[in-house]
């Protein structure tokens, strides 16, 4: 049985984050398109964590149905992740408010102040990503309720700075709102370390992909279980005139297809045939389609296998409860060692 002092210390360390999220364990699930849907989200919330629906490119009607279906599976709090560049963002916000979603995560770019105000006026708590200290300070001034700082070790869309540097840059300075740390977290010892540095909680994605409750295709899960950290590589920006947010995924033929598509879109952009915002949406649609081929269809050759570098710590398929209990046990051990 774990030392009660270690458990008490962990509870104290993430009490701010747990209170903010309304759950016992301040462990948010990263919003992973096609993976973070009703089954996994409800399982994480039911296990004491905080599930987050990945809206991705869903239409308002699809998001409405997904939220309602999730409420059928859990009475615990959960959130919704919205992409700021989505053309129907205002309608998606209305869907979240109409369904009394308690927390909304705005991702994929700096959100407009109007979007933050609409959510807050509607009673939702707003969480945003801060890839740098200057942006973190600006978001706090705009009124966001919490921040996520995600390092380049994460899966999917990533920034250029590692988690270890971001936490040193932001945690000692930004104390007005809870700050959750993400990117490369695969064990409880890392959770304890970030909490001791001032984090209110953590966000984890890759570890939950192979949860039993995850609807990811068996072949998709097998690719994660076989992979090492070095297999999760970021895509490369080919043309500086056409900024592309890097995406970290397991390398395969689909990665090469994205490079070809990027060249084609960049050529059209340079020729003035497409605006930057429309081109970015084309890329998002590419990833949504490629990710569906990987996650749902199990095409691990041409589909996208978005994964963080913590994929090397995914050793088998486990229940969501087992994953969370394992992380907590490791974190408690770390707290006990720290206390000793």
Is the pLDDT reported for residue 201 higher than 90?
Answer: yes
Q: What is the mean pLDDT of residues 138-152?
A: 97
Beta bridge partners of 146: 127
| pLDDT confidence of residue 2 | 47
Rounded (10°) CA dihedral 205, 211, 217, 222? 90
| pLDDT confidence of residue 271 | 87
Is the pLDDT reported for residue 3 higher than 60?
Answer: no
pTM equals 0.93
CA separation for the pair 55, 155 (Å, rounded): 17
Structure tokens at 178: 């809870």
**Angle in degrees, CA 52, 56, 61, rounded to 5:** 90
Instruction: Give every CB contact of residue 330 below 8 A, 6+ residues apart in sequence.
Output: 187, 188, 189, 191, 192
| pLDDT confidence of residue 275 | 85
Domains of the chain, first to last: 4-215+315-339 (3.20.20.70), 218-309 (no CATH)
Is the pLDDT reported for residue 244 higher than 90?
Answer: no
pLDDT-derived band of residue 32, with 50, 70 and 90 as boundaries? very high
Q: In the Cβ-directed half-sphere of 304, how many Cα atoms lie within 13 Å?
A: 28
| pLDDT confidence of residue 241 | 62
Q: What is the mean pLDDT of residues 94-115?
A: 96
More confident residue, 276 or 55: 55
Structure tokens at 304: 């996208």
More confident residue, 299 or 285: 299
Q: Report yes or no: 97 and 73 within 8 Å, Cβ to Cβ.
A: no
Is the pLDDT reported for residue 19 higher than 80?
Answer: yes
Q: Report yes or no: 75 and 23 within 8 Å, Cβ to Cβ.
A: no
């Amino acid at each position: 049985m774990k030392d009660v002092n270690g458990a008490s210390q962990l509870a104290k360390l993430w009490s701010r984050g747990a209170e903010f999220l309304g759950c016992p364990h301040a462990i948010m699930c990263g919003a992973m398109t096609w993976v973070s849907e009703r089954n996994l989200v409800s399982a994480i919330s039911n296990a004491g964590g905080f599930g987050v629906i990945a809206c991705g490119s869903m239409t308002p009607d699809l998001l409405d149905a997904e939220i309602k279906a999730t409420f059928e599976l859990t009475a615990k709090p959960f959130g919704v992740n919205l992409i700021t560049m989505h053309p129907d963002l205002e309608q998606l916000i209305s869907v979240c408010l109409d369904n009394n979603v308690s927390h909304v995560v705005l991702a994929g770019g700096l959100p407009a102040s109007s979007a933050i105000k609409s959510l807050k006026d509607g009673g939702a708590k707003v969480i945003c990503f801060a890839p740098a200290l200057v942006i973190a300070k600006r978001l706090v001034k705009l009124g966001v309720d919490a921040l996520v700082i995600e390092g380049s070790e994460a899966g999917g869309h990533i920034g250029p700075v590692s988690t270890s540097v971001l936490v040193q840059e932001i945690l000692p300075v930004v104390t007005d709102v809870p700050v959750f740390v993400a990117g490369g977290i695969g064990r409880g010892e890392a959770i304890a370390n970030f909490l001791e540095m001032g984090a209110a909680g953590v966000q984890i994605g890759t570890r939950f992909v192979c949860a039993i409750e995850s609807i990811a295709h068996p072949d998709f899960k097998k690719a994660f279980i076989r992979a090492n950290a070095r297999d999760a590589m970021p895509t490369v920006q080919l043309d500086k005139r056409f900024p592309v947010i890097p995406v970290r995924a397991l390398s395969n033929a689909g990665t090469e297809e994205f490079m070809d598509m990027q060249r084609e879109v960049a050529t059209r952009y340079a020729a003035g045939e497409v605006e930057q915002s429309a081109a970015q949406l084309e890329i998002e649609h590419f990833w949504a389609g490629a990710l569906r081929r990987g996650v749902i269809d199990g095409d691990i050759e041409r589909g996208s296998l978005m994964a963080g570098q913590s994929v090397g710590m995914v050793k088998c398929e486990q229940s969501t409860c087992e994953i969370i209990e394992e992380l907590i046990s490791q974190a408690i051990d770390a707290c006990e060692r720290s206390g000793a």
